[in-house]
Structure 1
Amino acid sequence: MPRVLIAGPVAWNLMIHLEELPRPEPHMVVAEWHHEAVGGTSAGKALNLRRLGVPVTLVTVLGSDEAGRRVRAALGGIDLVVAETANGTERHTNLMSATGQRTSIYLNLPQPAGPVPVPSFGDVDVVVADLAAFSLPVLRAAREAGREIWCDLHDWDGEAEFQREFAETADVIFASGDRLPDPVVFMRERIDAGARLVVVTFGAEGAMACERGGDPIHVPASPVESVVDTNGAGDAFFSGVLAGRLSGLPLAESLKQGADAGAAAVRSKELAG
């Protein structure tokens, strides 16, 4: 199986599950349940790819604090390239509603103490550059090395500048449809700009994808009897599609594998079901 290198953020999170997100006024609520777990979009992708049998190298930033030690333990079996932070490990408190809505409260945003190392791409076939300033040197080096680049733009609206270099560099683009005025137009524009494949996700409504030279296709979300935790479902979907493509599956089958991975994630408290 080809190796994937991921560059991006990981965190140690407190997950608080509520019937509904709190109203914006002083009051008391009682959590249905809570737990602590590794988080971050790059951790989610790495763990799901490992579950699918894809060897992964993860470039990230971590502190030498207790949260950093817990993250390292949770990412056991993944090849880590770590830059130390000057102010500890990234941490969030995530408020999760019964319908999957999320409010993320950032407790700590890490600052790398020095340059983030760019590893050799010798046996790497695909580079995933997640949205973080420290991922940009890896993104640029991967382009110079001629590696295939996948980027997850999350809820980009097509205008914000921070995501633009990721969007303009990537061969394969994933984006949420939440803030896109017209997802089909977005897919066509990104393909005209140089992308080979664009995928737009719609949560429980599934996803659409368009390859260069092809027409958009839709994949429904895989059915789930009961949802435990929606955190990380998008990263699981991304990883399932990527693993499918690395295995040589056609686009429709890769999308179905992504939908199945997303369904496994929402049935679990962890990022990889």
Structure 2
Amino acid sequence: MGHEIDVLVLGGAGVDTIVHVPELPVPFADSHMIRPGIVTRAGQSGDFVALGTSALGLRTHHLDLLGDDPEGDLVRALHQEHGIGLTAVPQPLGTKRAVNLVGPDGRRLSLYDATRAADTDRLPEATVRALAAVSRHAHVVITQPCAHALPALREAGLTISTDLHDWDGSHPYHEPFAHQADLVFLSTTALTDPERTMRRLTERGRARIVVATAGADGAYLLADGELTHIPAAPPPAPVVDSNGAGDAFAAAFLHAWLHGTPPHRSALHGTVAGAYACTIPSTRTAAIGREELNAGVAGLERSEQPGASYS
């Protein structure tokens, strides 16, 4: 049976309020004058992955809980504007929202509203199975209640990816995602020994490819038992914000990988897309296109030193 959907994204739909601050941590004061202003826009992790894969030509569908509220309207409008399929399951607690404090150097601190989710939340199994039956791949965001959908995705025979973000390598919340995915992304931010964590993921779970992003230091790829350093791509414009860089990396990697590109070259696609995302102000939602992505990868390949492997 043919696939109607290339990438089914589960979870991670929501709204961010962007607040630019003079520095992080924010200096204590009675008040701060904020420029370029405070902006609320649709776009959390699942939204950004869906935007990225869709912009690169993958048929993308997004499934998540959304409230009947202004924030949910913003999420629906984002998907409609970019032609991304969306199945919105009613969420009485409201649409996920967060406040992102963004420093002058592009670093951010995210404050998530924990009142808009409950431990009992579930994506309807019948809906998950129906979408999985016509999908090729699922990218599962680590938001509640996506872990409960993993068995149905596995039974449908999809390949699965996930992004553990700043996991410390031990927090149990992340383990269902970490151990059920074929392809795992994570950040090195909270890892004291990235290689050890990456290898444990392949030993304890299903993952055969693990990618750990390291910001300006590029990324590390574990594939076929070999750990390789992937160089950071030069940003095409000044860096203004790191928000969404990891999601952009994942989307571009998936685009290349699902087209049969080897993991190393897929990771080059990821670094180029991640660097591009860092040049987009956090008040906007934009994804790299195929032409610019391919040009960036070609530039990296011309300058890359072969054989940079680590044991």
The TM-score with structure 2 as length reference comes to 0.82
User: Partner residue of 1:87?
Assistant: 93
Question: SS state of the match for residue 89, structure 2?
Answer: strand
Cα deviations by residue, 1:197-230 (Å, 9 ceiling, x for unpaired): 00011112110001134x1111122112302322
Question: SS state of the match for residue 95, structure 2?
Answer: coil
Cα deviations by residue, 1:34-73 (Å, 9 ceiling, x for unpaired): 3222121111100011111111111111111111111100
Q: Does structure 1 conserve the Cα–Cα contact (< 8 Å) formed by 2:245 and 2:274?
A: yes
Q: Does structure 1 conserve the Cα–Cα contact (< 8 Å) formed by 2:121 and 2:145?
A: no
Q: 1:86: how far off?
A: 1.0
Counterparts of 1:200 and 1:271, CA distance in 2: 24
Counterpart pick for 1:234 among 246, 257, 264: 246
Cα deviations by residue, 1:170-191 (Å, 9 ceiling, x for unpaired): 1111111111121112222222
Counterpart pick for 1:221 among 212, 232, 235: 232
User: Partner residue of 2:199?
Assistant: 188
Counterpart pick for 2:155 among 132, 137, 144: 144
Q: Which runs of 5+ in 2 are unaligned?
A: 288-311
Counterparts of 1:115 and 1:18, CA distance in 2: 36
Counterpart pick for 1:10 among 3, 10, 13: 13
Counterpart pick for 1:67 among 71, 84, 95: 71
Cα deviations by residue, 1:143-181 (Å, 9 ceiling, x for unpaired): 122211111111111111100111111111111111112
Counterparts of 1:101 and 1:137, CA distance in 2: 32
Question: SS state of the match for residue 145, structure 2?
Answer: helix
Counterparts of 2:192 and 2:17, CA distance in 1: 33
Counterparts of 1:201 and 1:211, CA distance in 2: 14
Counterparts of 1:187 and 1:85, CA distance in 2: 35
Counterparts of 2:122 and 2:18, CA distance in 1: 31
Question: SS state of the match for residue 75, structure 1?
Answer: helix
Letter in 2 for 1:93: V
Q: Does structure 2 conserve the Cα–Cα contact (< 8 Å) formed by 1:11 and 1:90?
A: yes
Counterparts of 2:114 and 2:182, CA distance in 1: 32
Equivalent runs, 1:97-112 vs 2, <5 Å: 97-107=103-113, 109-111=115-117
User: Partner residue of 2:184?
Assistant: 173
Letter in 1 for 2:148: P
Q: 1:25: how far off?
A: 3.0
Counterpart pick for 1:154 among 156, 162, 165: 165
Task: Say what the alpha-carbon RMSD is for the aligned residues.
Answer: 2.0
Cα deviations by residue, 1:94-149 (Å, 9 ceiling, x for unpaired): 11012222122234642379742224222211111111221123212111222111
Question: SS state of the match for residue 95, structure 1?
Answer: strand
Counterpart pick for 1:116 among 101, 110, 123: 123
Counterparts of 2:104 and 2:26, CA distance in 1: 15
Cα distance, 1:107–1:167 mapped onto 2, change above 3 Å: closer
User: Partner residue of 1:33?
Assistant: 36
Cα distance, 1:128–1:173 mapped onto 2, change above 3 Å: same
Counterparts of 2:69 and 2:99, CA distance in 1: 17
The TM-score with structure 1 as length reference comes to 0.92
Q: Does structure 2 conserve the Cα–Cα contact (< 8 Å) formed by 1:84 and 1:114?
A: no
Cα distance, 1:45–1:109 mapped onto 2, change above 3 Å: farther
User: Partner residue of 1:50?
Assistant: 54
Instruction: Choose 75-84 or 238-247, whichever is displaced more.
Output: 75-84
User: Partner residue of 1:207?
Assistant: 219
Counterpart pick for 1:256 among 268, 274, 286: 268
